[in-house]
């Protein structure tokens, strides 16, 4: 099995726009639990803000196709970590990608998720 190494990154302006759509109640980019700056978008939404898989999915529905494509591109280039995204939230993300972008793109994200070992928890 190939191991994917995720490099810490600083969120860009585009990342912050997407984070604000997903979590309008978020007052900043610092994780209250760790005190460190968020380095990805989906993990903090999944672990710190969404109250359920349904809430996570509702939040995803605020994103348009270009937002989803941005996230997909970051996932596929390895800069958007999926390691802490709850499995049911990842399933919701893939469903939304399939609905808005394409089934093929959803399958590509799923294959990347499975290959990354993120789901081996």
pLDDT at 115: 86
How close are the terminal C-alpha atoms of the chain, in Å? 15
If you average pLDDT over every residue of the chain, what do you get?
83
Q: What is the pLDDT of residues 1-23, one digit of tens each?
A: 333 444 457 888 898 899 889 98
| Domain layout of the chain by residue ranges | 13-116
Quote the DSSP letter at residue 39: -
Cα separation of 3 and 24, whole Å? Answer: 34
Q: What is the pLDDT of residues 30-56, one digit of tens each?
A: 444 444 456 788 988 998 789 999 999
């Amino acid at each position: 099995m190939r191991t994917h190494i995720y490099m810490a990154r600083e969120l860009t302006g585009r990342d912050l726009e997407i984070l604000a759509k997903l979590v309008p109640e978020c007052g900043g980019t610092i994780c209250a639990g760790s005190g460190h700056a968020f380095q990805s978008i989906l993990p903090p939404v999944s672990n710190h803000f969404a109250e359920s898989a349904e809430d996570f999915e509702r939040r995803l529905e605020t994103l348009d196709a270009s937002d989803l494509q941005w996230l997909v591109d970051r996932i596929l280039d390895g800069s958007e970590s999926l390691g802490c995204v709850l499995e049911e939230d990842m399933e919701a993300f893939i469903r939304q990608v399939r609905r808005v972008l394409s089934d093929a793109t959803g399958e590509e994200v799923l294959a990347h998720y499975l290959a990354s070992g993120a789901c081996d928890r």
